[in-house]
């Protein structure tokens, strides 16, 4: 096995080495950069769609939340595989690691087929639920149908990231995402304008690029974990039990992510769409461009925490898991404050670069200036989520997320429509619930049930 693919299993005799500053940087920085690249297709598609007009940008902006639902469904497998592979790696259990990765790949294939059927038969119904109308609705249907039907590789991307990261390797996911982004940047305008496919070309560019990247990634993962064909298909009832076990751990994360997007659907229908297309498009740019880069940056320490916690608990070193969290905390807080300053000082200028017109740019700028206040809390929430999910305590993560997201719908309507605050009322509803989530998760992590959780 070559050095870049070497797993932490080969170095478990000194788990203290996982917490050395250089090792933490090599784990967190590639994870953050890889997460940024993972979301890069959104601002790319928004930029290309700006040449198609306001309706296309509105369709893509609204579709972001459908894609979050799809991502949440993919996390049913990825979020379950991560802590199991991490604990197997920390314990030096190579056979167990192969079993969990093999079952995860099989489960991801089933999720891919489910998403394809959903796109084929339910795209129009999904768009109707968001309250979109006219040309914006038509373009959203086209984009989602093509993306989901041709996106058979979608569930494998998060699975690859979770597996490599749990083994302590965040460099390979970064390289793979770089390949995907380059391919996407080249293929999307070819399909959109060269072949005159319009918004359907944006979907095809993304799915084909990801298919090529995932194919390479699965081959590298099989090599890194010494995966064999029997790990994928052998085992009968036992294999089915492993897939169910993975889904049991991953389901709270999947449900939380799906609910998160569902809340934004409700926000669109009750509070945002009634305020006009400019607000809808402004949300799409602010969320799909600014936050598409801010949240992935926070994921660097979050992924590092999940990887370290899983491996430390697998090695029986709860003390190291706690030390890892303490070492990552100051860096995460500093990052959240830095992003807030960027939103305040440069947000309006950045969104103006990709806005279709002045009204859209003004709405996106307001979003950036208000959401800046919650960025330090978003960064803490990401770190605490990484800790809980890395330990496999996904239920605690769910119950410190879902209730606050649900509160956003009536609170946003009350502030935006009831009190007449308009779009800022929606953004402040998001801010306040984000702060509450961060505090709640912090208390749960401090209590420490995750340190004693048995995943067997």
**Proportion of the chain above pLDDT 70, given as a percent:** 94
Mean pLDDT throughout 233-249? 83
Euclidean distance between CA atoms 311 and 322, whole angstroms: 12
Residue 402 has pLDDT above 70, yes or no: yes
Question: What is d(CA 113, CA 280) in angstroms, rounded to the nearest whole number?
Answer: 31
The tens digit of pLDDT for each residue in 342-383 reads 999 988 888 777 776 788 888 888 888 999 999 999 999 999
Nearest partner of 154 among 128, 118, 196, 124, judged by Cα: 118
**Can you read off the two tokens belonging to residue 243?**
């897939």
Where in the chain are the domains?
Answer: 25-452
What number of CA atoms fall less than 13 Å from residue 228's CA on the CB side? 6
Nearest to 167 by CA among 239, 84, 66, 264: 84
Model confidence over 35-68: pLDDT tens digits? 878 767 666 776 777 777 778 877 887 787 788 8
Specify the pLDDT at position 19. Answer: 87
Q: Beta-carbon neighbour count of residue 15 at 10 Å?
A: 18
- In angstroms, the CA 388 to CA 278 distance is 38
**Contact criterion met (CB below 8 Å) for 290 and 372:** no
Whether the pLDDT of residue 3 is over 90: the answer is: no
């Amino acid at each position: 096995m070559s050095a870049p693919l070497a797993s932490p299993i080969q170095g478990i005799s000194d788990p203290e080495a996982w917490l050395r500053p250089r090792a933490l940087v090599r784990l967190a920085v590639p994870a953050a950069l890889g997460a940024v690249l993972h979301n890069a297709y959104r601002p790319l598609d928004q930029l290309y769609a700006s040449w198609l007009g306001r309706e296309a940008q509105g369709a893509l902006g609204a579709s972001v939340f459908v894609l979050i639902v799809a991502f949440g469904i993919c996390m049913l497998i990825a979020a379950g595989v991560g802590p199991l592979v991490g604990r197997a790696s920390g314990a030096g259990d190579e056979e167990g690691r192969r079993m969990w990765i093999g079952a995860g790949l099989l489960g991801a294939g089933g999720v891919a087929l489910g998403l394809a059927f959903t796109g084929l038969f339910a795209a129009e119904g999904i768009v109707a639920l968001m309250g979109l109308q006219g040309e914006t609705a038509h373009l959203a249907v086209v984009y989602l149908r093509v993306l989901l039907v041709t996106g058979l590789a979608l569930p494998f991307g998060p699975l690859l990231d979770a597996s490599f990261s749990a083994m302590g390797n965040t460099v390979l996911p970064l390289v793979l995402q770089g390949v995907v982004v380059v391919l996407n940047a080249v293929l999307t305008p070819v399909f959109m304008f060269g072949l005159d496919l319009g918004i359907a070309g944006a979907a095809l560019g993304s799915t084909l690029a990801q298919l090529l990247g995932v194919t390479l990634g699965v081959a590298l993962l099989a090599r890194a974990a010494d995966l064999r064909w029997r790990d994928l298909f052998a085992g009968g009832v036992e294999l089915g039990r492993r897939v169910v076990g993975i889904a049991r751990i991953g389901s709270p994360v999947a449900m939380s992510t799906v609910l998160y997007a569902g809340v934004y659907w409700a926000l669109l229908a009750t509070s945002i769409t009634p305020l006009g297309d400019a607000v809808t498009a402004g949300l799409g740019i602010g969320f799909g461009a600014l936050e598409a880069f801010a949240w992935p940056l926070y994921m660097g320490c979050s992924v590092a925490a999940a990887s370290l916690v899983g491996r430390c608990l697998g090695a029986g070193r709860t003390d190291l898991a706690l030390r890892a969290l303490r070492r990552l905390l100051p860096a995460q807080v500093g990052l959240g404050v830095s992003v807030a300053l960027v939103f305040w000082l440069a947000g309006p200028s950045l969104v103006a670069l990709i806005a279709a017109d002045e009204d859209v740019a003004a709405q996106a700028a307001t979003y950036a200036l208000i959401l800046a206040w919650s960025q330090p809390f978003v960064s803490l929430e990401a770190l605490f989520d990484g800790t809980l999910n890395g330990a496999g305590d996904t239920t605690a993560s769910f119950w410190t997320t879902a209730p606050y997201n649900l509160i956003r719908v009536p609170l946003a309507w009350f502030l935006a429509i009831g009190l007449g605050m308009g779009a800022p009322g929606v953004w402040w509803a998001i801010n306040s619930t984000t702060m509450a989530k961060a505090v709640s998760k912090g208390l749960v992590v401090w209590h420490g049930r995750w340190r004693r959780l048995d995943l067997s």
